[in-house]
């Protein structure tokens, strides 16, 4: 079982041979595409002479191989299922190979495949080896010249990286285009697209005056869905110049939308390939959330041109070098062009729900893992989102100016190279003079650190003592953890004045340093006490402002203190967080009541806190909408030692309905005040209003009286944008009244049957219903003509969404688990990468009660009994270890 072997970071060696230039010719055919590769190779200066040449190759039919024009005899090379080995090669030589591949039967969507008749590629991380024999690793960087040959009629558009340099007609109604990419790149950034596509064009003039042609290529029916992506691209290009001094470096930048794509999008040099869900928008078909997602992903892929492409990763253990930094960059971009506090609230609530769960589960791994079986399994929330939080901590520790200088140094020093995470951190240390050795532990240690905080105010001396202790729980393969270097941004809010007090921090030498009213302190020890002097009044501490570190911070706040912070904290994020903590206290009581069979009583302090929010709506509707949104069931579950799905659902519903009953008029007023007749625009103001209005409507529909139903039905029928239509449809479809749900679902399904991205939403809405008939509905919808297991978006929309339906997925008859396992088994054959992703909820069995644990493990065992791909094998083995 050689493919099940692990790869270790400690075993890294430079490649024996490197490629300086790569020439490719594709002769496209659905079942027999011919790929000719001419590689200009030379021995790596750090490796010894005489080593064999070993190239990666997966599922390739080799037709020819020659060195410096001399065809090789059968005994001069060896080709097996994963590689081509040539024992004796010169120091510097030209290798020609020709292989045949079958894009049509490629359901894994890695390498060259077909989507809706068009050809496209996905090469990260190890897809290029499914196209041709190559040293398929990111530290081999070559210039590329690519000729694409295809049928003139059905494939009028032939694209690859870089600039088109030649095109022409060929016999048999075929034509060709040759592309040249002058920037040396690893094979994972290679891309090819061929199809009957149409384009929308625009231009961008860079800060140094270079004219760049911008193109978005789509299927003809989607030409009216590209405006927002194009506008987002231009904003991102300008922002990266202004914020990071990064300028685009080719004459054209292309984006292509494809329907079948495993991930969101891919940053191939000059030719980004996007999941259509991550690029297409139209007010009538995409929600505000989708508009914002598109903006963020377009920016993310564009930003990779520097953080990933110009400077890339030495090996895949360094994946977070490009992903963590780029996610941090796209988060800051979105914050800058939208509402910054809302962006942070959204990112953190997602992070604390999903990444914390990953970090606490059997697949927990460090931001830089030290081994893997299948690298595709490591495109995780830890690598991406925790990686971004680690970069954000560097920003906190250095301050923006030094951080920017560190970033400049990094790009200047390593341009055109494949480097490691410590190279990045070393630049940050060098420009700031800060010792970041201890900080490097963030990359090596898995698990979410837990920080306990205690504060004490001494009226006599005016001193405030903040005692912090940290510990990181054991994770698989890592039992001992060392203290981390944690930046804690904080303020002390005066209980009398309601204002931030000046922070004067005592130092060890008996002196003190005045830090201002909002500052970052450095926690480095397992236990450390910070003494603040001359604190004029008793404070409530506002800790970890803006979520300055990816930790769980506990502080024994009373409900009164939380209510105080909810209205007085100067940090918008922490005001929201105080509300979440207050709600969690109430929920904890209700969950306990439910479990003990005691009558549930609503916490009046929570009602009053919500009332005060509604009475003084402020001017950021989006922030208010977030403040009025209850923690999700998944987030609540994260806080429980043993997850009781039914108690959580019941408690949360109880809070929702109690608030709705007691604040009904206020919610009605908010709903009415935030109607908007302007034409749709995805501006932060409009998005905030719609969000607030729809949060209010959801509360009202939790009572479902005639007025609420009337408003919801009217919104469903009359609204011209998908945000409002979907919000209303969801409320109707999730109500207990099938006479409301069914007609609305039917009308919507018929209206949008032609639009796959809208049908995805239709699937999701139905399978996230709390009603118990959902499992049957999922099985039924899997037979729907708009559904296909071969399309990852459909799998996510139906199966992935169902597995997030906590009460139904975790049904005690085990049918939810069985359904997911059935799909995993089938997808294991079709698309292992997607199979290994959707299995995740089953791997979290340890969090549940005995009965469910047994059921979940049984399904994992059933999967283990199959002939598994390395992807699913690794996930199951970790889950059952």
The residues annotated as belonging to the active site are: 301
Name the β-bridge partners of 97: 37, 65
State which H helix or E strand residue 312 sits in: strand 312-313
| Binders in 188-247 for ligand PHE, by CB under 6 A | none
Only one of the segments 23-31, 265-273, 549-557, 800-808 lies at the binding site for ligand PHE (rule: CB under 6 A); that segment is 265-273
Indicate left, alpha or beta for 232 from its phi (over 0: left) and psi (-120 to 50: alpha).
alpha
Question: Which burial class, exposed, middle or buried, applies to 602 when counting CB atoms under 10 A from its CB (0-12, 13-18, 19+)?
Answer: middle
Residue nearer to ligand PHE on the CB measure, 263 or 700: 263
3-class SS shares of the chain: helix, strand, coil, % to 5: 45, 25, 30
663 touches ligand PHE by CB under 6 A: no
- Angle ∠(837,552,502) on CA atoms, nearest 5: 140
- Cβ-proximal residues to 827 (8 Å cutoff; 6+ apart), any chain: 789, 795, 834, 835, 838
Only one of the segments 259-267, 358-366, 481-489, 546-554 lies at the binding site for ligand PHE (rule: CB under 6 A); that segment is 259-267
Rounded Cα–Cα distance for residues 143 and 127 (Å) = 18
Could you give the 3-state DSSP secondary structure of residue 464?
strand
Only one of the segments 72-80, 231-239, 263-271, 738-746 lies at the binding site for ligand PHE (rule: CB under 6 A); that segment is 263-271
Residue nearer to Zn ion on the CB measure, 189 or 394: 189
Q: Tokens standing for 100?
A: 């045949």
Q: How far is the CB of 871 from ligand PHE (least distance, A)?
A: 12
Choose from ligand PHE, Zn ion, none: what does 122 bind? Cβ within 5-8 Å by kind: ligand PHE
263 touches ligand PHE by CB under 6 A: yes
Q: How far is the CB of 379 from ligand PHE (least distance, A)?
A: 5
Could you give the 3-state DSSP secondary structure of residue 60?
coil
Rounded Cα–Cα distance for residues 614 and 625 (Å) = 10
Q: Tokens standing for 426?
A: 């070393």
Residue nearer to ligand PHE on the CB measure, 265 or 778: 265
Q: How far is the CB of 116 from ligand PHE (least distance, A)?
A: 18
- Angle ∠(11,13,16) on CA atoms, nearest 5: 140
Q: How far is the CB of 542 from ligand PHE (least distance, A)?
A: 34
Q: Is the distance from CB of 394 to CB of 427 less than 8 angstroms?
A: no
Rg of the chain in Å (alpha carbons): 28
330 touches ligand PHE by CB under 6 A: no
Residue nearer to ligand PHE on the CB measure, 369 or 491: 369
Q: Is the distance from CB of 727 to CB of 754 less than 8 angstroms?
A: no
Choose from ligand PHE, Zn ion, none: what does 266 bind? Cβ within 5-8 Å by kind: ligand PHE
Q: Tokens standing for 879?
A: 């889950």
Could you give the 3-state DSSP secondary structure of residue 754?
coil
Residue nearer to ligand PHE on the CB measure, 355 or 470: 355
| Binders in 353-382 for ligand PHE, by CB under 6 A | 379
267 touches ligand PHE by CB under 6 A: yes
265 touches ligand PHE by CB under 6 A: yes
The 551-590 site mask, x for binding ligand PHE (CB under 6 A), equals ----------------------------------------
Residue nearer to ligand PHE on the CB measure, 124 or 374: 124
Q: Is the distance from CB of 709 to CB of 690 less than 8 angstroms?
A: no
| DSSP state, residue 187 | G
Among 23, 56, 124, 644, binds ligand PHE (CB under 6 A): 124
Among 301, 626, 633, 755, binds ligand PHE (CB under 6 A): 301
The 74-113 site mask, x for binding ligand PHE (CB under 6 A), equals ----------------------------------------
Rounded Cα–Cα distance for residues 719 and 206 (Å) = 40
Rounded Cα–Cα distance for residues 395 and 405 (Å) = 11
Peptide bond into 155 cis (omega under 30): no
Residue nearer to ligand PHE on the CB measure, 56 or 267: 267
Only one of the segments 78-86, 261-269, 488-496, 504-512 lies at the binding site for ligand PHE (rule: CB under 6 A); that segment is 261-269
266 touches ligand PHE by CB under 6 A: yes
Among 130, 185, 300, 734, binds ligand PHE (CB under 6 A): 300
Among 33, 121, 122, 232, binds ligand PHE (CB under 6 A): 122
Only one of the segments 257-265, 276-284, 494-502, 665-673 lies at the binding site for ligand PHE (rule: CB under 6 A); that segment is 257-265
Only one of the segments 148-156, 260-268, 336-344, 684-692 lies at the binding site for ligand PHE (rule: CB under 6 A); that segment is 260-268
Q: How far is the CB of 351 from Zn ion (least distance, A)?
A: 16
- What is the CA 19 to chain-centroid distance, rounded? 32
**Residue showing the smallest CB distance to ligand PHE in the complex:** 263
* Backbone φ, ψ for residue 90 (5° rounding): -70, 175
Residue nearer to ligand PHE on the CB measure, 303 or 439: 303
Choose from ligand PHE, Zn ion, none: what does 124 bind? Cβ within 5-8 Å by kind: ligand PHE
- Of 116, 277, 203, 82, give the one whose Cα is nearest residue 760: 277
Q: How far is the CB of 310 from ligand PHE (least distance, A)?
A: 15
Q: How far is the CB of 194 from ligand PHE (least distance, A)?
A: 19
126 touches ligand PHE by CB under 6 A: no
What are the DSSP calls for 311-352, one per residue?
A: BEESSGGGHHHHHHHHHHHHHHHHHHHS-HHHHHHHHHHHII
State which H helix or E strand residue 458 sits in: strand 450-458
- Angle ∠(584,585,586) on CA atoms, nearest 5: 90
- Of 713, 757, 835, give the one whose Cα is nearest residue 289: 757
| Binders in 313-342 for Zn ion, by CB under 5 A | 323, 326
Rounded Cα–Cα distance for residues 57 and 207 (Å) = 42
Q: How far is the CB of 275 from ligand PHE (least distance, A)?
A: 9
Q: What is the dihedral of CA 561, 566, 569, 573, to 10 degrees?
A: 130
Q: How far is the CB of 323 from Zn ion (least distance, A)?
A: 5
Q: How far is the CB of 228 from ligand PHE (least distance, A)?
A: 18
**Residues in contact with ligand PHE by the rule CB under 6 A:** 122, 124, 262-263, 265-267, 300-301, 323, 379
**Residues in contact with Zn ion by the rule CB under 5 A:** 323, 326
């Amino acid at each position: 079982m050689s493919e099940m072997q692990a790869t270790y970071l400690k075993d890294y060696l430079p490649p024996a041979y490197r490629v300086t230039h790569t020439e490719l010719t594709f002769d496209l055919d659905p079942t027999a595409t011919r790929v000719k590769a001419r590689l200009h190779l030379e021995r790596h200066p750090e490796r010894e002479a005489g080593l064999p040449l070993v190239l990666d190759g997966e599922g390739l039919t080799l037709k020819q191989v020659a060195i410096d024009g001399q065809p090789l005899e059968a005994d001069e090379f060896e080709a097996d299922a994963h590689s081509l080995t040539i024992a004796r090669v010169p120091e510097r030589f030209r290798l020609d190979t020709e292989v045949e591949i079958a894009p049509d039967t490629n359901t894994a969507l890695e390498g060259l495949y077909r989507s809706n008749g068009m050809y496209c590629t996905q090469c990260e991380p190890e897809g290029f080896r499914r196209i041709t024999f190559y040293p398929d690793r990111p530290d081999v960087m070559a210039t590329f010249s690519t000729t694409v040959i295809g049928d003139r009629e059905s494939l009028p558009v032939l694209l690859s990286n870089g600039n088109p340099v030649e095109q022409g007609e060929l016999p048999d109604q075929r034509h060709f285009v040759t592309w040249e990419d002058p920037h040396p790149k690893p094979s994972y950034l290679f891309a090819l697209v061929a199809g009957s596509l149409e384009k929308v064009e625009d231009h961008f003039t860079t800060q140094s005056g270079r004219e760049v042609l911008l193109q978005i290529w789509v299927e003809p029916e989607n030409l009216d869905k590209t405006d927002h992506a194009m506008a987002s691209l231009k904003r991102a290009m300008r922002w990266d110049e202004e914020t990071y001094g990064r300028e685009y470096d080719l004459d054209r930048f292309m984006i292509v939308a494809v329907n079948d794509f495993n991930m969101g999008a891919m940053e191939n040099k000059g030719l980004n390939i996007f999941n259509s869900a991550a690029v297409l928008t139209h007010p009538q078909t995409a929600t505000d959330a989708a508009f914002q997602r598109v903006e963020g992903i377009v920016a993310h892929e564009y930003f990779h041109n520097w953080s990933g492409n110009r400077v890339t990763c030495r090996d895949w253990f360094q994946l977070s070098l490009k992903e963590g930094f780029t996610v941090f960059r796209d988060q800051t971009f979105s914050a800058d062009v939208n509402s910054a506090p809302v962006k942070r609230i959204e990112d953190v609530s997602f992070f604390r729900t999903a990444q914390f769960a990953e970090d606490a589960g059997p697949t927990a791994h460090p931001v830089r893992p030290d081994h893997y079986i299948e690298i595709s399994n490591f495109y995780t929330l830890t690598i991406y989102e925790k990686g971004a939080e680690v970069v954000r901590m560097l920003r906190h520790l250095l301050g923006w100016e030094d951080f920017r200088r560190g970033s400049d140094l990094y790009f200047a020093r390593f341009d055109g190279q494949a480097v490691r995470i410590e190279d990045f951190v070393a630049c940050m240390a060098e420009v700031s003079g800060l010792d970041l050795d201890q900080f490097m532990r963030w990359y090596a240690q898995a698990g979410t650190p837990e920080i306990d905080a205690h504060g004490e105010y001494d009226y006599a001396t005016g001193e405030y003592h903040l005692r912090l202790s940290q510990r990181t729980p054991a994770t698989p393969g890592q039992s001992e953890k060392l203290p981390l270097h944690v930046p804690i941004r904080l303020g002390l809010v005066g209980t009398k004045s309601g204002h931030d007090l000046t922070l004067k921090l005592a130092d060890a030498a008996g002196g003190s340093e005045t830090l201002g009213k909002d500052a970052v302190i450095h926690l480095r020890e397992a236990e450390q006490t910070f003494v603040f002097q001359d604190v004029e009044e008793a404070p409530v501490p506002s800790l970890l402002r803006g979520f300055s570190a990816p930790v769980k911070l506990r502080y024994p706040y009373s409900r009164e203190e939380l209510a105080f912070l909810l209205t007085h904290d100067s940090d918008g994020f922490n005001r929201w967080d105080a509300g979440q903590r207050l709600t969690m206290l109430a929920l904890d009581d209700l969950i306990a009541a439910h479990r003990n069979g005691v009558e549930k009583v609503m916490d009046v302090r929570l009602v009053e806190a919500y009332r005060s929010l509604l009475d003084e709506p402020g001017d950021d509707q989006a922030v208010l909408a977030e403040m009025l949104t209850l923690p999700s069931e998944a987030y609540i579950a994260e806080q429980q030692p043993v997850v009781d799905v039914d108690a959580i659902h019941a408690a949360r519903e109880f809070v929702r309905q109690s608030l709705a009953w007691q604040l009904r008029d206020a919610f009605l007023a908010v709903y009415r005040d935030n109607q908007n007749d302007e034409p749709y625009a995805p501006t932060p103001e409009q998005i905030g209003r719609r969000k607030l209005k729809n949060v209010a409507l959801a509360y009202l529909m939790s009572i479902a009286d005639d007025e609420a139903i009337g408003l919801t039905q009217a919104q469903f029928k009359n609204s011209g944008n998908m945000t409002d239509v979907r919000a209303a449809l969801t409320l109707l479809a999730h109500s207990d009244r099938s006479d409301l749900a069914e007609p609305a679902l039917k009308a919507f399904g018929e209206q949008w049957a032609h639009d796959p991205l809208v049908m995805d939403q239709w699937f999701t809405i139905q399978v996230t219903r709390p009603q118990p008939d959902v499992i049957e509905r999922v099985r039924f919808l899997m037979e729907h003509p708009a559904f296909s297991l071969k399309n990852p978006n459909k799998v996510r929309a139906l199966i992935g969404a169902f597995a997030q339906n906590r009460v139904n997925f975790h049904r005690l008859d085990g049918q939810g688990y069985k359904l997911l396992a059935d799909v995993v088994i089938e997808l294991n054959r079709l698309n292992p990468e997607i199979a290994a992703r959707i299995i995740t909820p089953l791997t979290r069995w340890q969090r549940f009660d005995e009965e469910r644990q047994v059921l979940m493990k049984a399904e994992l065992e059933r999967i283990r009994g199959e002939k598994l791909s390395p992807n699913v094998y690794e996930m199951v083995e970790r889950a059952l270890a």
